[in-house]
Amino acid sequence: MTETLRLQARELFWPPADGLTATTERIRARLGDWPPTHAPWRICLTPPDAPNGGDLIVVTDAAPHLANIARWMLNGAGVLEAAQGRATLHLGGERYALEGELAEDWIPALAAFLDCGFDPHDALVLALAWRDGDEAREDAWPVDFSRFPRVPGLPDAPAQPFAPCPERLGIYPVLPTADWVERVLDYGARTVQLRSKQPKSPELMREIERCVAAGRKHADARVFINDHWREALAAGAYGVHLGQEDLRDADLGALAASGVRLGLSTHGYYEMLIAVHFRPSYVALGAVFPTTTKVMPTAPQGLARLARYVKLLDGVVPLVAIGGIDGAVLPRVLATGVGSAAVVRAVTEAADPAVAVAALQNAFTQ
């Protein structure tokens, strides 16, 4: 028998809808034990008189509401336009568009995934991957990638897919200088990344060239260059790692044609859909834990989400976990099934980096 989970301590829908609430409770009970959401979202099936920052206002056609939408969003509300297999969320100055199946229970499913703590755009992806009756499955969570929606309007993926890299890249130190890249390759790591904070300059180009040369010294090494794709391409690098924001400017066609491997950062389901569209060599999933090495656009994902991401994308694209990972948590990260883990301070701030690299590599053989 399907369990239920009572969510009546807060208002899920406006106007109140007992039938939708009951369905939401039934779905939510089958999604597992997730920390309670810190954002009490309310899905508004009709516009409330005084919308606020916790409201997602659902409309089938934005045109009749144009005069009010700006006011709603100024008050912090989101607007969700949904009809005929398309759903577009306008929230926080961003637009998230999706095409997929709108099941009869997609709105209760959306409420349930919001209650699991997912941001609205990621909860919306899951709601469009939901199918009526999924709560009766042994594992109700959407994990069939073929059922997931797509992001319309993206540039075409390169005609030639990006060159593949090994399915399991192992320990993946992310390093600040060519000196570090050379040292860590000599310690035995075989997948590394240069994440240089230098501005574009002749010195940066020399750093990248040194890293590429260090990779060639070790026949089985895989050296990725973060962000600086033009310089990496000119130097003949094995791979390039880009963030989502870099996709607007990078010449992905030129990179793919050159044989360069491409890794793409993601921070949730919506960005995964974008990344997979471009057929990269690997996808990075993070940040798993809090990290101080860079400013993150989202809260830490945690191990439960990482495990779900791995179950969804395993066999679709190689995966790298990243963010706040060190030797103490690495076994739990690998228990999710992910084939690679990026580390920063676990190597660069280690008392003995050579010993640290060996210990981290050993975790993959346990």
Tokens of 155: 């540039």
Q: Which two tokens stand for residue 247?
A: 């996709």
Rounded to an integer, the average pLDDT of 172-201 is 97
Average pLDDT of the chain? Answer: 94
Residue 243 has pLDDT above 80, yes or no: yes
pLDDT at 215: 97
Q: What percent of the chain has pLDDT above 90?
A: 87
Query: Tens digit of pLDDT for each residue in 299-332?
Result: 899 999 999 999 999 999 999 999 999 999 999 9
d(CA 303, CA 338): 11
pLDDT for position 168? 97
Tokens coding 210: 């040194």
**Domains in the chain and their CATH numbers?**
13-147 (no CATH), 170-363 (3.20.20.70)
For residue 91 the two structure tokens come to 């929230």
Reported as a single tens digit per residue, the pLDDT across 68-87 is 888 899 889 999 999 999 99
Cis peptide before 15 (omega within 30 of 0): yes
What whole-number distance in Å separates Cα of residue 150 and Cα of residue 238?
29
Q: Does position 3 have pLDDT exceeding 70, yes or no?
A: no
The C-alpha angle with vertex 259 and arms to 253 and 265, in degrees rounded to 5, equals: 70
Q: Which has more confidence, 39 or 113?
A: 113
Does the structure show a pLDDT above 90 at 297?
no
Mean of pLDDT values over 6-30 = 89
**C-alpha closest to that of 323 among 283, 349, 293:** 293
**What is the rounded end-to-end Cα distance, in angstroms, of the chain?**
39
Predicted confidence at residue 1, as pLDDT, reads 38
pLDDT score for 8: 57
Closest among 46, 24, 47, 48 to 37, alpha carbons compared: 24
Task: Give the whole-angstrom CA distance, residue 74 versus residue 140.
Answer: 36
Alpha-carbon distance of 116 to 5, in angstroms, equals 12
pLDDT over 50 at 248, yes or no: yes
Among the residue ranges 30-34, 166-170, 187-191, 316-320, the one predicted with the least confidence is 30-34
What is the percentage of the chain residues whose pLDDT exceeds 70? 96
β strands within the chain, DSSP E: 13-14, 42-44, 55-59, 78-83, 86-91, 94-99, 170-175, 191-194, 222-226, 239-242, 261-266, 282-286, 319-322, 340-343
Query: Count of CB atoms within 10 A of residue 220's CB?
Result: 8
Q: Closest Cα to residue 157, out of 273, 268, 321, 270?
A: 273
pLDDT of 250-290, one tens digit each? 999 999 999 999 999 999 999 999 999 999 999 999 999 99
Tokens at 181, concatenated: 């890249």
Give per-residue pLDDT as tens, 136-153: 999 999 999 999 999 999
Are the CB atoms for 126 and 98 separated by under 8 Å?
A: no
Q: How confident is the model at residue 360 (pLDDT cuts 50, 70, 90)?
A: very high
Indicate the residue type of 288: V
Buried b / exposed e across 164-176, counting CB within 10 Å, b at 16+? ebeeebbbbbbbb
On the question of pLDDT at 93 being above 50, the answer is yes
What integer pLDDT is reported at residue 61 of this predicted model? 87
Residue 63, pLDDT score: 84
State how far the alpha carbon of 234 is from the alpha carbons of 140, 206, 214, in Å.
47, 11, 16
The tens digit of pLDDT for each residue in 190-232 reads 999 999 999 999 999 999 999 999 999 998 999 999 999 999 9
